[in-house]
A and B are shown apart, each in its own frame.
Chain A
Amino acid sequence: MTDAFLPAPITARMRPAHSAGRRALLAGATAVAVLVSVPILAVAASVLQRGDGALSHLVQTVLGEIILNTLGLMVMVGAGTAIIGVGTAWLVTLCRFPGSRQLEWMLLLPLAMPAYIIGYAYTDALAFAGPVQSGLRALFGWGRADYWFPDIHNLPGVSLMLTLVLYPYVYILARAAFLDQSTCVLEAARTLGANPWAACLRVGLPMARPAIAAGVALALMEALADFGTVQYFGVTTFTTTIYRTWFGLGDRVAASQLATGLLAFVLVLVVMEFLARRGRRFGGGGRRHRMLAPLQLSAPKAAAAAVACALPVLLGFVLPVIALIRLHGDGGDPFFSERFLTFARNSFLLAGAAALIVVTAATLVAYAGRLAPGAATTAALRVASIGYAVPGTVIAVGILAALGAADHGLDAWTRATFGQGTGLLLSGTAVALLYAYLVRFLAVATGPVESGLHKIPGSLDAAARTLGANAGKVAVAIHAPMLRRSLLTAALLVFVDVLKELPATIIVRPFNFDTLAIRVYNLAADERLAQASTGALVIVAIGIVPVILLTRMIARDTRRGGRPD
């Protein structure tokens, strides 16, 4: 009699906790989505107002061009980052050739290089008045009309600059995916007669597709949001046109309309990323996690692989650093002193705090997608991605408007209630800055976290729960170790992005608070590249640290055979 009644109470207790947990997750994800969308909506809201007629002016003059340029940028950067990122990831992960171990981490180095800095470096080196062309003219006695030299200040040129600094997004996610692929699936393919190359093309790549799609989407979002590089290169895009419409023409309404047009391009990327995952749970496959034996390449192929992998590092990092060092030797920053260290400290602390906040929010959103699937959760996931491709300038102005309204509302309320206002509590503070970074970079973290969760089989969750573990225990005891690489990847990407961030920081930051990126940009904007090079080198140097840390973590996990069983 007693035994007959025992199971019922346990079951009854489990069900409410489970439902409550799901509701909490959904509420959290919704809160994050609302936070992220508020500044963007604050800008978009003015779309509905009647403008000063600037939009019709733009339609007649530059709109066609900016659409073509933006599309061209997307095609070139998308193709470039995919080819370089996936190709190099496959080579260093699944093949062995001289230098492959070193190239594993070196291929991440361009991540530390802001696009506008590489643009300045190549401009300085390759310009008509620069050392390369001047040297050639002196050597061969040429005049201007006597030779042709490729001009990088155009759409292909700026696309190349962006590709060289953005391919690491694809590389890092593709490589993580290749590392995590189940050995037995690839071995089964080989058993059925596929050679190693065919196994990659027909099995490995499709399985890595969610990660590759996420990486390319991130790279393209970053390219769409870029302002400093495309402007310096004289390429007219949505971002540069939004800026000059907002500020030059003084038409906030038309600028918002352009920003809405830009969001249409962003949504294409979000949908692309979503479709790449639809209907596929790649967490399937066997649980054997022994690393696939790396392919030993023949000498000619090994040499070709080494060159193919070294070239992006050379062009995306080594040559620009050499150019910066040369510029630094020409002058360097006169503030290389205590004030400069303050810039560096500000940058580091902001990047660290932002990485923590953004990865936490991304994990919350990704878990909601896993444990509480549904239309509301899907919407929250998609909204979380939008901020990444909105120009920092637009996000910052949206945040100014949103926080300004919040501050004014609170001030008015306390003034009416207590007779004393609160003034500005949020505007112009570090809180505002971190909020800007959350909006801008949540997508950076969401991609790897989601990809990581997708690789954990649902059956593991089910098995754990059958044994009595609740959702919390599943997350802590089982998922956390398995997600470690994804979480660290996400944190790394956010850290480096915040380190390089410019427009939102410039607009939102507190008094007497500058970062290295601002210092570099101010000097470059005032055309003092030699002095800007000092801060640029420091940004690159700081950016290398997380790259090295992540590389070590990946290497250690790999040697242990990947995920624990």
Chain B
Amino acid sequence: MTFAPTRRTLLGGAALLVASPALLRAQTRTLNLYSSRHYDTDEALYSDFTKQTGITINRVEAGEDPLLARMQSEGANSPADVLITVDAGRIEKAQSLGLLQPFASEALASRIPANLRDPDGNWFGFSTRARVFLVARDKVAEGAIGSYEDLADPKWKGKVLIRSSTNVYNQSLTGSVLAAHGPEKTEAWARGVVANLARPPRGGDSDQIRAAAAGEGDIAVSNTYYFARLVVSSKPEDREVAAKLRVVFPNQADRGTHVNISAAGIARHAKNIDAAKAFLEYLATPSAQRYFAFGNNEYPVVAGVEPPPHVAAWGTFKVDPLNARVFARNNAEALKIMDRAGWK
């Protein structure tokens, strides 16, 4: 069996390219991708790109944090061309660690809304997911809960289901609350949420949804795509779980619902710059956006591309326009606040 191509082979190939421009067309072009996405439907996304451009994608998929550590250690010789993360907090951290480089692209600037990309062009959001409430239909009246701040209301004592503060989605959510209310009020809010927990935080978003459907609590906090997956599941039990719950988009009366992004940027030491640029611009094409939407039930970022019908059926909602960079930079402080509040 063969592992990754040796560096010598790659260097030899590079030398050939430099020495013989005429051979340029004959060489297979590659893109080295570090990605923290782990969705099977991305296979189709990558295959489509290769089909359109002839560029082969080499992948390392891992959690964001290990990928950043790896890029840091690899330094100037890092083979990474593009970094993809599933959270704004981590792509912004990559930028603050100096791991990315700016890409001035008219196509991306015109297609991707300003709040979903880095103002300096270091990274771009390509899909979003909203952090919503899934409430038990038979226990929570329409309009009874409407905001993240309501999660701390004592009337929901023993009713709230949410995962651990170790989870980066919750760190980003708390980061957005911090941006809206400042540290003192946010810590009070976090303490209130903890006081209202139906059980100590555990498991993932899907576990919260199932627990709410089973009656362990009344309000589950989850990213939209987990719920969408249950709605369209091939298993009757999953569809039954979904049928018992109703989607609430928080904060429609004020700043809007917190959305997080899958984002990508070009690596600081990318060797295949042209391929990296092509890949990022591909991600904003309608066909790629449809893969995000229909493959993993995410919201597309490009106007004119619709989410799948079962997601669109929940209705439109006001999005918190806070730039992802802001709540991303708040993550460390948010984590400390959650620690002080006893949010495990």
Contact = CB atoms under 8 A, between A and B. Distances in A.
A428 B214 CA distance: 45
A382 B344 CA distance: 35
Interface string B151-167: 00000000000001010
A424 interface: yes
A411 B73 contact: no
Nearest to B86: A526
Contacts of A153: 199-200, 202-203
Nearest to B204: A527
Interface centre among B7, B40, B79, B215 (most CB of A within 10 A): B7
Given A424-B77, A428-B74, A513-B4, A236 B211 contact: no
A404 B61 contact: no
A274 interface: no
B335 A244 contact: yes
Interface stretch (A123-131, A173-181, A283-291, A443-451): A123-131
Given A345-B1, A511-B32, A514-B61, A506 B66 contact: yes
A509 B60 contact: yes
Interface centre among B72, B74, B216 (most CB of A within 10 A): B74
Nearest to A339: B43
B235 interface: yes
Interface in A487-512: 503, 506-512
B244 to A, nearest CB: 11
A364 B171 CA distance: 47
Interface in B61-83: 61-66, 68-70, 72-79
Contacts of B339: 57-58, 61-62
A510 B39 CA distance: 19
B168 A429 contact: no
Contact of B66 (A154, A349, A393): A393
B211 A128 contact: yes
A294 B61 CA distance: 53
A127 B74 contact: no
Contact of B4 (A331, A345, A401, A511): A511
B7 A423 contact: yes
Contact of B74 (A248, A427, A510): A427
Interface in A232-265: 232-234, 236, 240, 243-244, 246-251
Nearest to A240: B166
A234 B77 CA distance: 38
A408 interface: yes
A430 interface: yes
Contacts of B10: 423
B77 A408 contact: yes
Given A62-B339, A527-B206, A512 B58 contact: yes
A127 B211 contact: yes
B3 A335 contact: no
A424 B79 contact: yes
Contacts of A231: 164, 166
B118 interface: no
Nearest to A522: B38
Contacts of A509: 60
A523 B61 CA distance: 12
Interface in A190-246: 231-234, 236, 240, 243-244, 246
A512 B34 CA distance: 10
A145 B263 CA distance: 44
Contact of A411 (B32, B63, B77, B204): B77
B331 interface: yes
A46 interface: no
A507 B77 contact: no
Interface string A521-537: 01101110000000000
Contacts of B61: 514, 522
Contacts of B40: 334-335
Contact of A248 (B4, B214, B332, B340): B332
Interface in B212-256: 213-216, 226, 234-235, 241
A296 interface: no
A234 B70 contact: no
A144 interface: yes
A418 to B, nearest CB: 12
B207 interface: yes
A408 B75 CA distance: 8
Interface in A506-561: 506-514, 522-523, 525-527
Given A62-B339, A506-B62, A144 B215 contact: yes
A306 interface: no
Nearest to B235: A330
A123 B74 CA distance: 38
Contact of A512 (B59, B93, B203, B204): B59
Interface residues of B, number: 62
B298 interface: no
B325 interface: no
A317 B76 CA distance: 47
Contacts of B60: 428, 509-512
B111 interface: no
B203 A423 contact: no
Nearest to A397: B69
B73 A129 contact: no
A354 interface: no
Interface in A318-365: 330-331, 334-335, 345-346, 349
A134 B77 contact: no
B202 A232 contact: yes
B63 A506 contact: yes
A471 interface: no
A9 interface: no
Contacts of B215: 128, 143-144
Interface string A393-419: 100110011011001100100000000
Contact of B77 (A62, A143, A423): A423
A64 to B, nearest CB: 12
Contacts of A330: 235
A396 B66 contact: yes
A250 B32 contact: no
B185 interface: no
A403 B206 CA distance: 39
B335 A129 contact: no
A249 B332 contact: yes
A526 B7 contact: no
A422 interface: yes
A271 to B, nearest CB: 31
Contact of B59 (A144, A420, A511): A511
B73 A234 contact: no
A425 interface: yes
A506 B35 CA distance: 12
Interface string A296-314: 0000000000000000000
Interface string A50-81: 00000001101110000000000000000000
A151 B8 CA distance: 55
Contacts of B77: 407-408, 411, 421, 423-424, 427
A429 B164 CA distance: 34
Contact of A422 (B4, B7, B226): B7
6 contacts: A129-B207, A129-B211, A250-B332, A408-B76, A424-B79, A427-B77
Given A503-B66, A527-B207, 9 more contacts: A144-B215, A345-B1, A349-B1, A397-B66, A423-B7, A423-B10, A427-B70, A507-B66, A509-B60
Interface of B: 1, 3-4, 7-8, 10-11, 32, 38-40, 58-66, 68-70, 72-79, 93, 164, 166, 168, 171, 199-207, 210-211, 213-216, 226, 234-235, 241, 331-332, 335-336, 339-340, 344
Closest 8 CB pairs of A and B: A247-B65, A400-B73, A129-B214, A404-B73, A234-B202, A527-B206, A510-B4, A129-B210
